[in-house]
Structure 1
Amino acid sequence: MRELRRIDTSPSSIQTAEAERLTALLEEARAARANEARRGGPLMEEALPLARALGDSVTLAEVLFLLGLGRYVTGDFLGAFGPLEEALTLFTRVGDVGGEADTLMNLGGVLGGLGDHAQALESLLRARDRYAALGHAMQEAKTAQHIAVVHANRGEFGAALPLHEFALARHREAGHERGMGYGLSYVGATRVELAVRAGARGDAARARAELEAALPLLEEAVVIGTRLANLRQVAFAATAASQAEFELGRMEAAEGWFSRAVAAARGGEDRATEAYARMEAARQRRERGDVAGALGELTAAQLLLDAAGARHETVMVLRDLVDLHELAGDTTSALAALRQLHTLELALRDESAEARWHLARARYDVELHRLRSQELEELVQERTQQLEASHFALLERLAVVAEFRDAETADHTRRVGTLAALLAGHLGVPQEEVRMLRLAARLHDIGKIAVPDDILLKPGRLTPDEWTLIQTHTTVGAQMLGGRDSPLLAMAEEIAWTHHERWDGEGYPRGLGGEDIPLVGRLVAVADVYDALSSVRPYKAAWPLAEVVGEIERGVGTRFDPRVVGAFLDLIGTGRWPPGEGGS
């Protein structure tokens, strides 16, 4: 990125001492960018309020970019997203195409790290277009390589190959050895993957041609990586070469490359890359009929991935371990691996849902800040409503993930919202609030995302500790929904926090009683109990309507607000509830 002009230190713009401090922070972060970008994060944390006070869009854009970059390189993808998005808006506004390109490339990496590969690809393609327009060949090549990696992660090796070849050609032209080494590794490994797929289709000639083309590239990559002491690149290329030799039927050569890959990975203390090599070795041993050898390699790979914290890759290893243990007739070990796999997949699923929620929230914050900074109040209101709807939809999906484990159908949340809204309308609540309640009530149990399955789905009586943990879903849900300038989400927060309070003050989490409990909490309390009793759950059958009504009547004045129960009985008596029995 280009050097920016020195900041104006005149009193008319900002106090001289503060401006000089901002200049010093920026200069230090710029110097660290090439090799120690992580240092820029803390420096820009201090610089950001100074840059905002200065009011200069160019300076603020650079501060936000360096802040986002510093967080990105330390793996804080969510923390990086907001500053980079805001920086992109500012670079676009001031017409800084280079700044746009740099920001878009890093945003692509951030979005890929958050699992949003489609948006990552869009961001990287936009970055490549801008680098091409500026004539920045090396940056264009690096971006093409990133785009190819996204395609490869999606299994689109045919789309990845020409991009890797383009990047390799640019690095060769520039005599950039490190880039050449990675380019050769990527092109060779991609050709090996294409060969495997050609072989699976029965196209042996195409498979052999791809393998024969791949090997010289991988050999050259190993030579360059060895010369530059880039042990990760050596290990990666040697593993791909081992796979190529194995597919060509040259077992001794394949073993030799495997040994070289492991030695390089260990030399670089790179556990994840060694695990990648051992996963390939396990595949080869399995195809040769050496099940015990394959199990040994996979077990070693799992230990390495656990130590590296590479949990997504561990899922792949566990799946293969289940198959191999079954193949070996060891059902006990297969079941143990299956349990580990199930636990890990559930944890990753929940983390993925939470990450998507945080990403949506970050996008919401960035867009709202942009709109407010333009002082277009009418547009802010319109866009806020649109963003609120999008944000709510994401939260609702997360609530369904939480509820789906606990109810036979994900429709539970919608039924609770519908009944709560009908009760509110019957009690004369204004129609705008009824409309909001119909939506907000769907999020009443969103906090259950934090309750483990073995407790939430337990068929027997809960222990006191387990019951205490179940009760935390109210406060967790309120925390997830809190901190927003949104009447809809404020209502949802209130419901999540209070729908398990009781009229007699014996509920949780705060022991509120009577009209100290917000009306929306009292309404959802009745709607939730009705639907829970009338639906199938893992630990019970659905109750008949008459028994459900009787149970709710018995709670009048103790568990439930008498007025709300009265409205409920009116809906039942007039046939407006349940749906399908004359109701709506």
Structure 2
Amino acid sequence: MAIRATPVVEGSGVTKTVRELLDDARAAENNDVVAARAMAQQARVMARTLDDGSGEAEALYRLASIAYAADQADEAFSIALDARELSRRVGATVVEVWSLNLVGLVHYNAGNYSEALGSALQALELYRLTDHRVDEGNLLNTIAIIHHSLGDTDRALVTYEAALTANKWLERPEYDVLTLTNMAEVRAGRHEDLLAVSLDESALELAREHAPEYQPEILARLGMSYCALPQRERAEECLDEAELIVQQRTGAAATESTGFALAMARGRIATERGDSEAALRSHAAALEIARAGSMLEKELVAHAQLAASYKQLGRFEEALEHQEARFAQHEALFSQGTDLRIKTLQIAHDTEAARQQAEILRLRTGELEALVRGRTSDLEEYQLEAFQRLAVLAEFRDTDTGEHTIRVGDMSAAIAKQLGESDEWVHHLRLAGRLHDIGKVAVPDSILLKPGPLTADEFDVMKTHTTIGAEILSGSSSPLIQLAAEVALNHHERWDGTGYPGGRVGEDIPLSGRIVTVADVFDALTSHRTYKHAWTPLEAIQYIIGAKDAQFEARVVDAFIEVVSETHPEICEEIGRAVA
């Protein structure tokens, strides 16, 4: 559907169309955000007045893009979802692709890599159904970046190659500069330094003619790769050239980014030649650049290198100071990333929930009560499906399969039924139990997948999955989701009050938490983990019996024994002896 070109006269007397306003907004986006936003808003109002759905959808996307460029991630995400919904409704497929891609970028920046990949792949699939080809290479480049962040470097390289192929006919060599540079970064990360040098040299050759702004970054990376070969003389030539370019350029942001890369590269070269004092000076300079530019992740890298340099010099107190600063910075980044990750997922959920609620209100207004009940059920089903996907995502990171959540839900329901709870509550607990570990989506892989025992600090981070899970599930009007929030918060509480997060005692722990903790422990003990072998069912049952009245409520344990005696008839006699 084409955007209509019906003209309108602005206050200045200049005739503009929706198309022209959108083009002007795009042109102004990088240098005048206020003007770009005003033009996009005007285009949206005008398109709506003209009943131009395609134009309104693109105006919404442009507003989302402007917000994203201004680091307003929440607003960008919410508007992009609106743009996607409207573009789908009016058949503006290319705008839907752009919106999906932007949704994926916000997910990516929030650390939601699986959601980012899903959005990006969906965008590419839709795009290939159109006759539009200009953006395919960029979409592939985004997908490759996500694969790289997920640690799938083979797939990242294949996708980058596909991006190069897609861009061939466009004659836009600046696109190839980015792709080649990204490929070089992957190769360098795999210690394939000759290949990294070859790719960066190709990127540099293109950048000299078509994208000079990228030269310092490429030269800095080349310096690092040449140093690793080792060809330190060529490495220093690259850094000297990069520094000369930086000195001749204006623009503080560019200087900060490239300055950091150059300082780190100088430090690497100094380390390689055994000059610890020079390495120390370079890494200290890199840290100051990172601080001045509020580049938090780069601060983390600089602290790590400074700690290593001080240690090599035997200045252990200063090395410890930088390690502690690095740890504090890591904690801050973790908290920041967790907040953004949860907020992004919550916005996605709230947007869909709001759409469903609006439809329910419309049906109520029309006195279609039967349909309202159906829509209410649809909303609860949507919420459950969304949360189950998130829970399985967390579980896939923690175990070899997502079946753990289903088994815990089923066992919890069986125990509840044995206790004589109502069929409705048993059904709800079956589903709520599947979401008990949803908060693990916010726990870093370095802790969640650690093969050995956790440190005290790491265990404190792990324990936050209970409160984070309850936060993710909070705010729903659905009794089922409310029960799931209760389970997420309380499934690590202990009958004797020594559990977490609240240290609740006895019947102060909700029944749902008392039941799910037994089901969760049984399944965890009988499942293989990276840090433990699987126990036999009898061993796990004996453990749970031994923890009666301490970790678990006796009544719940008795009901559990009845359930496992039915599901494991081959060990009934052994279970009987354990109980006795």
1:288 to 273, 284, 298: 273
Which moved further from structure 2: 43-52 or 75-84? 43-52
Runs (5+) with no aligned partner, structure 2: 9-15, 364-370, 448-453, 526-539
- Counterpart of 1:72 in structure 2 is 68
**1:187-235 Cα distance to aligned partner (Å, 9 max, x none):** 774686699699947x6xx7886676555444446xx74xxxxxx5453
- Counterpart of 1:391 in structure 2 is 387
2:428 to 430, 433, 436: 436
- Match of 1:75, SS state, is coil
Q: Answer yes or no: is 1:299 the counterpart of 2:284.
A: yes
Q: CA–CA distance in 1 between the matches of 2:214 and 2:46?
A: 42
Q: CA–CA distance in 1 between the matches of 2:141 and 2:395?
A: 38
Give 1:256 deviation, angstroms. Answer: 2.0
Whether the 8 Å contact between 2:22 and 2:40 is mirrored in structure 1 is yes
- Counterpart of 2:513 in structure 1 is 524
Whether the 8 Å contact between 1:51 and 1:60 is mirrored in structure 2 is yes
User: Partner amino acid for 1:285?
Assistant: A
Give 1:291 deviation, angstroms. Answer: 2.9
2:418 to 426, 436, 440: 426
Whether the 8 Å contact between 1:26 and 1:63 is mirrored in structure 2 is no
Q: Answer yes or no: is 1:488 the counterpart of 2:494.
A: no
Give 1:30 deviation, angstroms. Answer: 6.8
- Counterpart of 1:239 in structure 2 is 220
Q: CA–CA distance in 2 between the matches of 1:326 and 1:70?
A: 46
- Counterpart of 2:28 in structure 1 is 35
| Cα distance, 1:380–1:306 mapped onto 2, change above 3 Å | farther
Q: Answer yes or no: is 1:91 the counterpart of 2:87.
A: yes
User: Partner amino acid for 1:277?
Assistant: L
Whether the 8 Å contact between 1:360 and 1:391 is mirrored in structure 2 is no
Which moved further from structure 2: 291-300 or 120-129? 120-129
Give 1:94 deviation, angstroms. Answer: 2.4
Whether the 8 Å contact between 1:417 and 1:437 is mirrored in structure 2 is yes
- Match of 1:484, SS state, is coil
Q: CA–CA distance in 2 between the matches of 1:347 and 1:430?
A: 45
Give 1:239 deviation, angstroms. Answer: 2.9
User: Partner amino acid for 1:68?
Assistant: A
- Trace 1:465-544 onto structure 2 (pairs within 5 A): 478-495=470-487, 521-525=510-514, 528=517
TM-score normalised to the size of structure 2?
0.63
- Match of 1:296, SS state, is helix
Which moved further from structure 2: 69-78 or 53-62? 53-62
| Cα distance, 1:546–1:191 mapped onto 2, change above 3 Å | closer
Give 1:70 deviation, angstroms. Answer: 2.9
**1:215-262 Cα distance to aligned partner (Å, 9 max, x none):** 5444446xx74xxxxxx5453355356558764843653342242255
Whether the 8 Å contact between 1:152 and 1:160 is mirrored in structure 2 is no
Q: CA–CA distance in 2 between the matches of 1:212 and 1:497?
A: 53
2:241 to 257, 278, 291: 257
- Trace 1:138-537 onto structure 2 (pairs within 5 A): 156=156, 160=160, 163=163, 170=170, 182-183=174-175, 186=178, 189=181, 200=192, 213=202, 216-220=205-209, 225=212, 233=214, 235-240=216-221, 242=223, 247=231, 249-250=233-234, 253-263=237-247, 267-269=251-253, 270-345=255-330, 348=333, 352=337, 355-365=340-350, 385=381, 388-395=384-391, 421-441=413-433, 478-495=470-487, 521-525=510-514, 528=517
User: Partner amino acid for 1:424?
Assistant: A
- Trace 1:9-88 onto structure 2 (pairs within 5 A): 31-36=24-29, 38-39=33-34, 57-58=53-54, 60-88=56-84
Q: CA–CA distance in 1 between the matches of 2:188 and 2:566?
A: 59
Give 1:157 deviation, angstroms. Answer: 5.4
| Cα distance, 1:437–1:451 mapped onto 2, change above 3 Å | same
Whether the 8 Å contact between 1:451 and 1:470 is mirrored in structure 2 is yes
Q: Answer yes or no: is 1:549 the counterpart of 2:548.
A: yes
Whether the 8 Å contact between 2:490 and 2:510 is mirrored in structure 1 is yes
Give 1:278 deviation, angstroms. Answer: 1.7
Q: CA–CA distance in 2 between the matches of 1:567 and 1:148?
A: 49
- Match of 1:293, SS state, is helix
- Match of 1:295, SS state, is helix
Q: What is the number of residues matched between the two proteins?
A: 515
Whether the 8 Å contact between 2:473 and 2:482 is mirrored in structure 1 is yes
Whether the 8 Å contact between 1:45 and 1:67 is mirrored in structure 2 is yes
| Cα distance, 1:57–1:252 mapped onto 2, change above 3 Å | closer
| Cα distance, 1:45–1:482 mapped onto 2, change above 3 Å | farther
**1:397-422 Cα distance to aligned partner (Å, 9 max, x none):** 65999x99xxxxx9999998677545
**1:17-52 Cα distance to aligned partner (Å, 9 max, x none):** xxxxxx999998874442237446699899999999
User: Partner amino acid for 1:35?
Assistant: A
User: Partner amino acid for 2:87?
Assistant: F
Give 1:4 deviation, angstroms. Answer: 4.3
Give 1:430 deviation, angstroms. Answer: 2.4
Give the root-mean-square deviation of aligned CA atoms: 6.2
User: Partner amino acid for 2:267?
Assistant: A
Whether the 8 Å contact between 1:416 and 1:528 is mirrored in structure 2 is no
Whether the 8 Å contact between 1:368 and 1:380 is mirrored in structure 2 is no
Runs (5+) with no aligned partner, structure 1: 9-22, 173-179, 226-231, 405-409, 461-465, 537-541, 554-559
User: Partner amino acid for 2:425?
Assistant: E
**1:347-379 Cα distance to aligned partner (Å, 9 max, x none):** 555655565554444444555667786999879
User: Partner amino acid for 1:310?
Assistant: M
Give 1:275 deviation, angstroms. Answer: 1.1
- Match of 1:34, SS state, is helix
User: Partner amino acid for 1:427?
Assistant: L
* Identical pairs, percent: 24
Q: Answer yes or no: is 1:100 the counterpart of 2:99.
A: no
- Counterpart of 2:13 in structure 1 is none
Q: CA–CA distance in 2 between the matches of 1:86 and 1:129?
A: 22
Whether the 8 Å contact between 2:100 and 2:122 is mirrored in structure 1 is yes
